[in-house]
A and B are shown apart, each in its own frame.
Chain A
Amino acid sequence: MAHHPTEFKVEHFTFDDKLRKTLITLIVVGLVIAGLGVFMAWKGENAGHDSHGEHHSSVVEQNIPSALTSNETESKAEVAGETEKLQGEQTTDSATVQATETHVAEANTHSAHAEGHEGGHHGPIWLKRFWANILLNNFYFIGIAIFGVFFVAVQYVANAGWAVSLKRVPESFGSFLPVGFVLMLLLIPGMHHIYHWMAEGVSEVGHPNYDKIIAGKSGYLNMPFFLIRLALIFGIWILFYTIMRKLSLKEDEEGGTKNYYKSIRTSAIFIICFAFTLMMAAWDWLMSIDVHWFSTIYWVYTFAGLFVSGFVATVFFLIFLQGRGLMQHVNENHFHDLGKFIFGFSIFWTYIWVSQFLLIWYANIPEETLYYVPRFLGHYKVLFFVNLFINFLFPFLYLMTRNAKRASNSLSTIVLVLAFGHWLDLYLMIMPGVVGENNGFLMEIGFFLAYLGIFGLVVFKALSKAPLVPKNHPMLDESLHHHI
């Protein structure tokens, strides 16, 4: 159903009042649900207070440090058993035994530190949960926004022609970045509820909160440097989004290839900057929640998840616009390619997931396994497998056939499932470290809906500001006649 070029006309999207009202309603409904969630969490916590007066600390004790303590004790026992087994087998590999012993010793220090914090740094759980929600949705939607810019940049650098006619959609995601920046700034007052390393005195020798491991990281994890990085990350992202958007719009007016070649150069530089900034964003905003833990692949994992949600968002907006009679030139061939990307990056995400999990599980070193104890063995066990099922098994089987990738109605199913799937993945990355076992879903659903509404408002506004197709892009013709 390739369209003949003569049928092609430059379309505009009008952001009408009805859509605006729907989105505002979504925000309001979301906030109401979220408010209800906050209230329930608050009430639940205080009710626990009243009825179990003498056990009032039980709720508080389910906080991360205590969760960590018990978990670490478990893993410590495991490792100790491991050591005995190794010695029992009279292995000649002295290095291994010694290494294991060292790790046991370190696990002891770890738990000692965790215990040291007991009763030290605690806010109410509902408040922690509230801030964790803001962080979760911030990262989810900022991730989609920066994916949009990154995707467009990659298309330029790779000389890819097929996506040109749909590039205005991911391009417009970038307009959420300034809003995302403001939302991250709003998080600052609540950050100490999320990030344990921001607590007072953690890196001060002699302070009751002192933690040797966190103190060792304070050269990187300290408030001023953290804020500088936050500003730097957004500064770079917003700057490149602005330049690339401007070049793209200029090309619409001027024609020629000048802006095209400029876009290629800008994209190449952006991709380099993106690698560094995303790495820092993943370490700062997500990995430092579980501050004792570390994993070198973590930023690649974050990147892989963000890619899937970005493609999913692109397909979502395309299907939406087509429902309004726009973007009809995007046909099953383009959807096929987008479907292949969702399929491919779901597998890539799983690959990175396995790389991290398998290596940590196999080596079984306490300072690494502590991340997986609540997730794989503890409270989050079910969600842990649900995550793997939704984000790997489902798209893997569902998108296997050619037809599943080519029909927009079958893609809408995958969009709904994976949009939730990668939100859940972030949930599992954030919640165990912040709220321990006191997680829930009501407040979470509310905030997600509200954020969805805000994201929609911003992106639709950006979409309405420019023609939906970059009419002078030198590869537009290839995209309009895309056929596979």
Chain B
Amino acid sequence: MIQESAVRPPLVLGDKTYSQMTEDIMKPLETKPNLLWFGAFSIAALVMTMGFALIGYLFVTGTGVWGLNKTVGWAWDITNFVFWVGIGHAGTLISAVLLLFRQKWRTSINRAAEAMTIFAVMCAGIFPVIHTGRPWLAFWMLPLPNVHGSLWVNFNSPLLWDVFAISTYLTVSLVFWYIGLIPDIATVRDRAEGLRKKIYGALAFGWNGSARTWARYEVVCLILAGLSTPLVLSVHTIVSFDFATSVIPGWHTTIFPPYFVAGAIFSGFAMVHTLMILTRSIFKLEEYVTMYHIELMNIVIIITGSVVGLAYGTEFFIAWYSGVEYEQYAFLNRAFGPFAWAYWTMITCNVITPQLFWFNSIRKSAVATFIISIFVNIGMWFERFVIIVTSLHRDYLPSSWAMYSPTFVEIGIFIGTFGLFFTLFLLFAKTLPVIALHEIKTVLKTSGEKYKQAAASRVEKGSAGESPVMPEISLARKPQQETEI
């Protein structure tokens, strides 16, 4: 077997065997949750309940309880929607795009990232539905044959394309995630007893681990990866069309599609960090989600963060270059108008803080990464707020100019979605393996620390003399020491 290059840091630390890996990853499922988990779960569930109570209040009284007005008819609702959809992007990127690029490190984080995607899209879906005002008629968004004569949905509207794009995205992500889970659920089943065995047995769809089962599994995964890849681009492209097809200065700009996609991946990776740094520390998974994994994700954050920064710069420059006074005003108003504080929060969090990852010590520190990931989450929320509210609040007619501030209902519902998100994630982490066990097993022999060391010592002894790789590189760049949080 050809060993991978010695300059690649190991992806599984310590002296692991397949059996030990099963034990490590199954442990959180098979032991009673600790106090930390219960504490976190109670808070999350409480916040979620508050959010749903406020949604109930909204339904009873109407959208007038929000801070919207005639000029700013879209604000937190659509901001939160775009924010959550964006977060959902990392999962598909990791499961499909990184798979196509043969990135072995994805195996440690793909399961959790995909779960996160599904929960984030669920949070996102709440907002358009409650904004319609009559959520019990939400099915009208689908082009169903109806008894109202030739009454159809508006196929020209990007908002309708959103309905198709996001429902497709949710479906494919959910199926992809679940199919990937089946072999692992079977492992849980085989170790369980009683009712537990029955439940996991039903969820495992009769997985028997035969060669034929695996062959079919591989084919299905390949097809789903093929379907998911365009979805990474299409979902946020269409979300960007919600704004860019209009003629509102600050919204109508051609760079929106790729810029929104980059921003979505940026925010998605930040959220993966927020979740994974906590998870690896609570469940003691530092040997599987190593500092090297965190470092690689930090590099993705630098790249996407820089793309987003470049897009801000391009927009600003072209607004001036265009010579169109409305465009010029929209951007000056963003940076120096009444919402300048939001704009500069966005710039600080999205453009400046990720650049700190250029420093080795910050890129390789779990604590610093965790803090910066929170900054990016905040920054990406503000990005959508800035785009939406600053472009709307100054209408073409100065007599229509208005300000916007949210009411407790909007704030409460948004915080409530975080409750929903964390409730679902905590339940997932307790009931299903957070690391794709069967996938990470496939990289053990090429990228496990012990195996790499053994290969390196073979090279030093000269038994692999045919290799053109120089021996002195073999132990270069040992993985950095862990920084605990």
Contact = CB atoms under 8 A, between A and B. Distances in A.
A425 B432 CA distance: 50
Interface string B227-260: 0000001000100010011111000111111100
A471 interface: yes
B247 A99 contact: yes
A1 interface: no
Nearest to B234: A351
Q: Is the interface of B mostly helix, strand, loop or mixed?
A: loop
Interface in A88-105: 94-96, 98-100, 102-103
A68 to B, nearest CB: 15
B8 A159 contact: yes
A257 interface: yes
Contact of A297 (B246, B254, B322, B473): B254
A478 B3 CA distance: 8
Contacts of A228: none
B306 A360 contact: no
Contacts of A103: 247
A8 B468 contact: yes
A272 B257 contact: no
Interface residues on A, range: 35 or more
A363 B252 contact: yes
A45 interface: no
B277 to A, nearest CB: 22
Nearest to B5: A475
Given A98-B397, A363-B245, A294 B321 contact: yes
A275 B467 contact: no
B466 A5 contact: yes
B315 interface: yes
A477 B469 CA distance: 7
A98 B468 contact: no
A332 to B, nearest CB: 16
A220 B468 contact: no
Contact of B258 (A96, A260, A261, A352): A352
A184 to B, nearest CB: 22
A365 interface: yes
Given A279-B314, A367-B322, A355 B237 contact: yes
A190 interface: no
Nearest to B240: A355
B147 interface: no
B138 interface: no
Interface in B124-169: none
A5 B253 CA distance: 53
Interface string A263-301: 000000000100110010001000000000011111110
Given A95-B395, A351-B233, A100 B247 contact: yes
A354 to B, nearest CB: 8
Contacts of B397: 94-95, 98
A217 B321 contact: yes
A474 B257 contact: no
B326 interface: yes
A477 B468 contact: yes
Nearest to A347: B230
Interface string A73-114: 000000000000000000000111011101100100000000
A216 interface: yes
A264 to B, nearest CB: 10
A213 B323 contact: yes
A300 B258 contact: yes
A98 B314 CA distance: 27
Interface string A350-370: 011001101110110101000
Given A257-B476, A474-B473, A475-B7, A481 B466 contact: no
A161 interface: yes
Contacts of B8: 159
Contacts of B318: 294-296
A387 interface: no
A6 interface: yes
A95 B383 CA distance: 24
Interface of B: 2-8, 100, 102, 233, 237, 241, 244-248, 252-258, 299, 306, 310-311, 314-315, 318, 321-324, 326, 395-397, 400, 466-470, 472-473, 476-477
Given A95-B397, A363-B245, A363-B252, 5 more contacts: A95-B400, A352-B257, A355-B256, A359-B253, A360-B254
20 contacts: A94-B396, A96-B247, A99-B248, A159-B8, A256-B472, A260-B7, A283-B321, A296-B255, A297-B258, A299-B314, A300-B258, A351-B233, A351-B258, A359-B245, A367-B324, A474-B7, A475-B5, A477-B5, A477-B469, A480-B468
Across the A-B interface, the 8 shortest Cβ-Cβ residue pairs? A296-B255, A297-B254, A355-B257, A216-B323, A481-B2, A5-B466, A297-B255, A475-B5
